[in-house]
Chains A and B, each alone.
Chain A
Amino acid sequence: MNSVTFNSVVRFVVLVLLQGLVLNHVNFLGYINPYPYILFIALFPINNNRTLFVFLAFLLGLCVDFLTDTGGMHAAACVTIAYIRPPILKFSFGTIYDNQTIKFNQIELGSRMVYFSIIVTIHHLILFSLEVFNTSNIILILKKTLFSSIFTILLCTLLSILFSPKRK
């Protein structure tokens, strides 16, 4: 097991546990919860097997679903962002992505936040649409998406700064 695989496995377990045991119980202002476990999907090594990546995203979502009793909502949202990640990467990082030499800890903060924002917003929109599951409550879906997204983006950025190796 090389260090990249090991890193991913540890990240997977830690993020799922962190989500299930701590962050699902934040309930800021009654209903706002952050979901930074999708950092696993956002920071997954890029030049890897895409099929495996989509499958891992599904597993990640399903684990969180088991912990929160939410059917398959997290799984659906995770699979989607995993599948559409390449265009998002291209949009946020431009030419660096084309050269396939991307290293997340070398990217400047601004474009990293743009990248997180897009992924998080899409994920939350799908998640809350499936959770509310009622077109007459679109306002509620949008409200939940907006506030939770802000929270998640902030946490994702902070976590990725905290745990990235020192830049030289």
Chain B
Amino acid sequence: MQQIINFVIRNKTFLLFLLLFGLSVFFTIDSHSYHKSKFVNSANFFTGGIYETKNGFGQYLNLREENHALIEENRKLRTIVFNLDLDTLRVSKVDSTLLGDHYLFTSADVFKNSYNLTNNYLTINKGKKDNIKQDFGVITSKGIVGIVENTSNNYATVLSVLSKKNRINAQLKKTSHIGSLVWNGKSEEFVQLIDISKFAPVAVGDTIMTGGQSAIFPKGILIGKIEDFSLDIGGDTYTINIRLFNDMTNIGHVYIIENLNAGEIKSLENESNE
């Protein structure tokens, strides 16, 4: 017994090193597995507060760009509204449960954004207090950004599309061939769409948007344009390189999408799986 205690005292630095190293490797592995990085994230009040202060200093610097983005978005929305062949009488007769009630949008400011890591995160200034929960989609007016992963009372971290953990359901705009959106970690301008059937009419310049098959994003959120594509080794599916519409290096304001029917869809899927 005495010897064991002596051994521990003699090697206390080494043992402490082993313990702390093991702990940090555990955190690392934890952060590499999907939806499990619960211990170390920037959605706590301390780092959130630091980033909030920093954002307070910095947010006036790019007001001009933000204004341009807002004007562009307004222009698009107006085009859609005025070109819709609706008369108001008919709309009022449509069952209101079919319109609009499925998705709830919340706006948020981005405090922190990274794009040079293997799994990139954004920190935003909305959290549990604003009813933000895990697995809500995050978009900008131009296209997709990511999925909410951790939340605290006032902040949330968003796993960006630039991440090896994400697999987002996506499809061609022209046809309904679906695939999964992944990232190879090489460039922040491109993401990859895999598992698109070889029968799909893929052409350079085609638009890719989200498919309606996940409970996270509504169908039709824009993602990007096809830059190039190749058949994979098996010859059955295409791997498509997509140029994102969003400039992931420059994201100021985002919208968070809550799918009000997500719970119902999930429970239904669970029932059918059993």
Q: Which residues of A contact B (CB under 8 A)?
A: 17, 20-21, 24, 27, 30-33, 50-51, 54-55, 58, 61-62, 65-73, 75-76, 79-80, 82-83, 130-133, 137, 140
Q: A27 to B162: give the CA distance in the assembly, Å.
A: 15
B28 CB within 8 Å of chain A = yes
Q: A51 to B9: give the CA distance in the assembly, Å.
A: 11
Smallest CB separation, B248 vs chain A (Å): 11
Which residues in A have their C-beta under 8 angstroms from that of B17?
54, 79-80, 82-83
Which residues in A have their C-beta under 8 angstroms from that of B105?
none
Query: What 1/0 flags go to B1-44 for Cβ under 8 Å of A?
Result: 00000000000111011001101111111111000010111101
Per the CB 8 Å criterion, the residue count for chain B at the interface is: 41
Whether the Cβ atoms of B42 and A79 lie closer than 8 Å is no
Whether the Cβ atoms of B118 and A132 lie closer than 8 Å is yes
**Which of B109-117, B204-212, B258-266 has 4 or more CB atoms under 8 Å from chain A?**
B109-117
Which residues in A have their C-beta under 8 angstroms from that of B24?
58, 61-62, 71-73, 75-76, 79
Which of B31, B39, B50 lies in contact with A21, CB distance below 8 A? B50
Quick one: given A58-B20, A66-B44, A66-B46, are A72 and B116 in contact (CB under 8 Å)? no
Smallest CB separation, A34 vs chain B (Å): 12
Whether the Cβ atoms of B116 and A27 lie closer than 8 Å is yes
Q: A82 to B17: give the CA distance in the assembly, Å.
A: 9
Whether the Cβ atoms of B118 and A133 lie closer than 8 Å is yes
Which of B16, B27, B42, B185 lies in contact with A51, CB distance below 8 A? B16
A21 nearest CB neighbor, chain B only: B54
Quick one: given A27-B249, A72-B25, A133-B32, are A66 and B116 in contact (CB under 8 Å)? no
Smallest CB separation, B10 vs chain A (Å): 12
Q: Which residues of B contact A (CB under 8 A)?
A: 12-14, 16-17, 20-21, 23-32, 37, 39-42, 44, 46-47, 50, 54, 112, 114-119, 121, 123, 157, 185, 187-188, 249
Whether the Cβ atoms of A66 and B117 lie closer than 8 Å is no
Q: A69 to B16: give the CA distance in the assembly, Å.
A: 24
Quick one: given A71-B31, A133-B28, are A65 and B40 in contact (CB under 8 Å)? yes
Q: A133 to B20: give the CA distance in the assembly, Å.
A: 19
Whether the Cβ atoms of A30 and B50 lie closer than 8 Å is no
A65 nearest CB neighbor, chain B only: B40
Q: A82 to B24: give the CA distance in the assembly, Å.
A: 14
A133 nearest CB neighbor, chain B only: B32
Q: A79 to B54: give the CA distance in the assembly, Å.
A: 29
Which residues in B have their C-beta under 8 angstroms from that of A82?
17
A67 nearest CB neighbor, chain B only: B47
Q: A50 to B254: give the CA distance in the assembly, Å.
A: 46
Q: A130 to B26: give the CA distance in the assembly, Å.
A: 11
9 contacts between A and B (CB under 8 A): A27-B249, A66-B44, A68-B42, A69-B41, A71-B31, A72-B31, A75-B27, A76-B24, A76-B28
Q: A50 to B42: give the CA distance in the assembly, Å.
A: 29
Quick one: given A61-B24, A76-B24, are A54 and B42 in contact (CB under 8 Å)? no
